[in-house]
Structure 1
Amino acid sequence: MSTNRPSGDLTPATGGAPVADVPDRFEDPGLPHHPERMADRDPKAAKRAERQVVTLLLVSILASIGGIVGFLFIPVGTTLLDVRLSTIALGVGLGLGMLGIGLAAVHWSKTLMSNTEYVEQRKPAASSPEVREEAVAKLEIGVAESGIARRPVLKGALVGAAALAPLPFVVPLVGELSPSWDTRKFRHTAWGDVPEGTGGRLPDGTLGRRLATDPDNRLIRAADVTNGSAFQVIPHGISDQEHYLEEKAKAVVFMTRIDPSELNISPERRDWSYDGIIAYSKVCTHVGCPVALYEQQTHHLLCPCHQSTFDLANEAKVVFGPANRALPQLPITVDTEGYLVARSDFHETVGPSFWERERMDENR
């Protein structure tokens, strides 16, 4: 509240009475009476409030540790439930860690920090050395009034909670984005393997991994794919493999059929499609989100995360958005029984572009 006191005058406000008259306008009503809190009158109440704040901070500490432990030690198996348990543990730990600090800060300010209100004259916008010195002095007053210097247990709990709360968010990022993280796993997918019972024989006698619908693992005949139809495709029998979810995440494919006259195909890819049936990786080359929104009329495939748009009629090249390379294409054909099969693995690394650049650097 602004008053007519000299600039820089900072004194406790008096309750009730007007501070000064403002000519030709109205009287400043001043501040209402500010009652004392129980913690101001009773040292036992203040100690009890301190214990409550410490308890909230300990909850934050335990939650942060629990989130990290859950992320590191809950095994990620082959079912979605295993993934959810690890993710829930991390999310709950992060949420409770931040919530504990927030509640502790609110309770601390309401019960333990100074209960005195101050008023001062507004100052010019430009600050001078004197103003900066005054600001530092006020900060020192605030630190003193918070009572943290004479409450070492409270100070230790606050430091511990603040240090641990961000870890459930930081630990996964450090583990996955560090230079030592092995990105070579993205250079090979399940399409390059043909376990027994999952392949179809090509006319030249070789075997290729059969295409199957996700999630029911149903084989797909070329005759079942009509113009404009859309399929989410996985390697046949992939659910029986070790690390099923990881392998599926890399190998998942979007497949559709476009009139061959509308396809712009380079000579080296003439045999990568079959009668207009094309298949491309669903892993966006921007940051790895699953591309899934298909515009049948334009043949555009959109990523819902950052709106990268790929033209399937033009070898899935980028026509809009932050992605800077086309989606990798899966070479496909039909086997001797009429089922769609993969001729080989992807010829490019699936996923975000920085992985591909790393591969190119290594090759050089």
Structure 2
Amino acid sequence: MKTYLTPAELQSALALRDLSDPAQGPHAMSLLLADVTTALERLWSIGVETHRLSPLVATADNYDRLGYSPGDVTRDSRYSRHVSPTVMLRSHTSAGVPALLDPLRAELGRYDRLHALPGLVYRRDSIDRTHVGAPHQVDLWRIKARGLLGPADLEQMMAAVVEAVLPAAAHPDVEWRAAPATHSYTDTGRQLDVLVTQPDGSREWLELAECGLVAAQVLRGSGLDPRRWAGLAMGLGLDRALMLRKGIRDIRLLRSENPDIQAQLLDLSPYRPVSVMPEVRRDLSLVLGSAAEADVELLGDRARTALGAEAELLAALEIRSVTPASGLPPAAVERLRLAPDQVNVLLRLVLQPLDRTLTDKDANVLRDRVYLALHRGRVTELIGG
């Protein structure tokens, strides 16, 4: 059963600033996006069209027309944000592609163009230093008629994007790899990973993009004959790309209101760390209706909603353990008044403001707000006073 966003939740989502859009103010993310599209334009010597589309899309365009199966788990309200039975906030910028392909059926001559679709996407995601519920993404689709596109072209595309995001002149030790991956709207799918050196000197493989050849069924769905039309498709996470480019470890910094941080987000120079505020941790003992409810993405989304404007203080949310009533000592079951089908979940909140020190009292109040939003038990344990 789907659940739908309330008007207030929808309004809040639509009011969020798109950092990739220069019309909404200067930001390093729009500069990085320009570097990526310029690199591909030069590689192929073709025109680039940038489309900034409404984040409200037909559910069919977000899923069905991109080849997702009716039972795909991503359709579930735990992961997507539905507005009505037929409309949702896009979960990927690829949702805008079917409407761009439809008019091309009238093209009878040669055609070769790069379509860039940047913007915010909306997901129910885990809470940590590299994930948020509304990340930025750009879909890069090269569509061509009367000419073939194959794995070699895809390889060139990946190399050009890596160089645009992490120029060798500034990141000489960067390596990349393309692992096979399956996507509903591509053939010869690939996951593009980069091996980067973190600020602490460690080396780590991180996903940068997903890509592949445009699947024949997607072309046919817009009335384009796959014998005449071909394409390359890439989805690039702009938050991750910018963090790698500048050496930023916490995704929340990208929206920081600290003037010392904001000033560094107007260019693509390496980030210089600003004094970090101490973490405050709070462990919660929750009662949930079932083990299925102990989903870190679902709980994270509820925690963000409960905290509202103060959700930015939540640096991480971690499930430490999930224990059914049958696995607890009788005394614990009695104390929690746990029903036989309920579970006890130990949850850790990591609170860390970016611009001030959080007092214990403030942390306890935030802890209680999250607790009341998530707890489903008959006994409450508040500490905020």
Quick check: which has more Rg, 1 or 2?
A: 1
When you count helix as a share of all residues, which structure comes out higher?
A: 1
* TM-score (norm: length of structure 2): 0.22
* TM-score (norm: length of structure 1): 0.23
